[in-house]
Amino acid sequence: MDSVQLEYIEQVFKSSHQHGDGPFGKKCERRLEQEFKIQRALLTCSGTAALELAAILFDIKQGDEVIMPSFTFVSTANAVILRGATPVFVDIRPDTLNLDERALDEAVTKKTRGIIPVHYAGVSCEMDTIMAFAKERGLFVLEDAAHCYGASYKGRSLGSIGDLGMISFHQTKNVGCGEGGALFINDPQYTERAEIIREKGTDRSKFLRGEIDRYSWCDLGSSYVLSDILAAVLYSQIEAKETTANRLKIFKEYEVGFRPFSEKYELRLPSIPPYCEHNAHIFYLILPSSELRDGLIAHLKSKSIASTSHYVPLHDSSTGMKYSRSVGSLPVTSNVASRLIRLPIYSQMSSAMVKIVVDEVEQFFKGV
């Protein structure tokens, strides 16, 4: 924890406002609105909370269906299932590992209410096509931009394009505060009700602004507000502009390091489409087989290098099979998930550390 974070946290503890919607929370929200060019940002206690808040806002209910990729974190599907609705999983594109927009038409039924495109690793989905498809059919679009601070699609920040968007400020993200998130409101019709749902279903936000003399219970809701202690940590992170720049430098060093032997050993590096400005949230390799992927993870672990696979596809999980349906067998999703390895990447990582990782990957493949 740096001196700025400590100073901000000290300010909060010296104040009488350590709970949510405090001075640092408001500063974070205004900063996010400016940076993302959105109507309204509401801090939440997690990215999961933002997804659940959005599901209530869209009035998702039993019998509804919502289209999403299976290659995502469980929170994307849980937000829908908790409302009694059904996630409908479609396959991902083999290049970006994002929802395949070509699969949308087959997934739509009379029960379909919306689409949740997930921008994997800070690389954007093909949003123009998705938004046009949704508009033509009267569907909502909720962007899962959990990975996406500092990433954009054709110059527009990810999370700012759908009707609603969300972002995560978990410790593992480019910008984080331990646990946190935000809901991005791009359609102003949702603003007032979002404030109410976030405050346990009360109009307390109006009360705090002096617009009413007392607040009461007026809608569904839960406790989704981020404490001002964590908002202070988050604000210091938002101010630290070098975080994503450092990760992009490391990402580039990985690309340069792997390029001389990636073709020889059939290693696939991340694919960044020309319409996307990514944020280097994840650096992964896709190996020729699951056996090689598992072997490489074990080899790197023996050298004290942390690496891991990523999502177990939701359609293959016991809960996914119970509460969702899939459009086809999702072959790209299953194939990629079995062969993908995530390599270490963080803003303090040195060039020497990158070289050690690259060298150990090469040594592993020379051995097999």
Coil, strand or helix at 286: strand
CA distances from 68 to 26, 116, 139, 231, 351 (A): 32, 5, 13, 30, 37
| pLDDT tens sequence across 101-144 | 999 999 999 999 999 999 999 999 999 999 999 999 999 999 99
What is the predicted pLDDT for the residue at 2? 78
Q: Do 321 and 315 touch, CB atoms closer than 8 A?
A: yes
| pLDDT tens sequence across 230-254 | 999 999 999 887 789 999 999 999 9
Q: Report how far residue 80's alpha carbon sits from residue 323's, in angstroms, rounded to the nearest whole number.
A: 10
Q: Report how far residue 165's alpha carbon sits from residue 154's, in angstroms, rounded to the nearest whole number.
A: 17
DSSP string covering 294-362: HHHHHHHHHTT---B--PPPGGGSHHHHHH-EESS--HHHHHHHHHEEEEP--TT--HHHHHHHHHHHH
The CATH architecture one would assign to domain 3-239 is 3-Layer(aba) Sandwich (3.40)
77: phi then psi, degrees, rounded to nearest 5: -80, -40
What is the predicted pLDDT for the residue at 106? 98
What is the predicted pLDDT for the residue at 243? 84
164: phi then psi, degrees, rounded to nearest 5: -135, 155
Residue 287 predicted with pLDDT over 90: yes
Q: Return residue ranges of the chain for CATH 3.40.640.10.
A: 3-239
| pLDDT tens sequence across 53-69 | 999 999 999 999 999 99
Q: Grade residue 5 by pLDDT with cuts at 50, 70 and 90.
A: confident
Share the mean pLDDT of the chain.
Answer: 96
Measure the CA dihedral 80/85/91/97, to 10°: -10
Residue found under tokens 């109009």: 203
**CA quadruple 227, 228, 234, 238: dihedral positive or negative?**
positive
| pLDDT tens sequence across 156-215 | 999 999 999 999 999 999 999 999 999 999 999 999 999 999 999 999 889 888 899 999
Average pLDDT of the segment spanning 286-290: 98
Between CA 88 and CA 100, with CA 94 as vertex, the angle to 5 degrees is 35
Average the pLDDT over each of 2-6, 152-156, 276-280 and give the range with the smallest value. Answer: 2-6
Average pLDDT of the segment spanning 301-310: 98
Residue 270 predicted with pLDDT over 70: yes
Coil, strand or helix at 73: coil
Q: Grade residue 1 by pLDDT with cuts at 50, 70 and 90.
A: low
Helix ranges, the chain (H): 3-14, 23-36, 47-57, 74-81, 104-107, 127-137, 191-198, 204-208, 228-239, 242-262, 290-302, 318-323, 331-339, 351-367
What is the predicted pLDDT for the residue at 139? 98
Q: Return residue ranges of the chain for CATH 3.90.1150.10.
A: 242-367
Residue found under tokens 């995530």: 342
Q: Report how far residue 282's alpha carbon sits from residue 74's, in angstroms, rounded to the nearest whole number.
A: 18
Q: Report how far residue 343's alpha carbon sits from residue 254's, in angstroms, rounded to the nearest whole number.
A: 9
Q: Do 88 and 66 touch, CB atoms closer than 8 A?
A: yes
Residue 18 predicted with pLDDT over 90: no
Average pLDDT of the segment spanning 226-233: 96
One-letter amino acid for residue 217 of the chain = W
Q: Report how far residue 32's alpha carbon sits from residue 40's, in angstroms, rounded to the nearest whole number.
A: 8
| pLDDT tens sequence across 72-113 | 999 999 999 999 999 999 999 999 999 999 999 999 999 999
**242-367 belongs to CATH 3.90.1150.10:** yes
What is the predicted pLDDT for the residue at 16? 79
Q: pTM for the whole thing?
A: 0.95
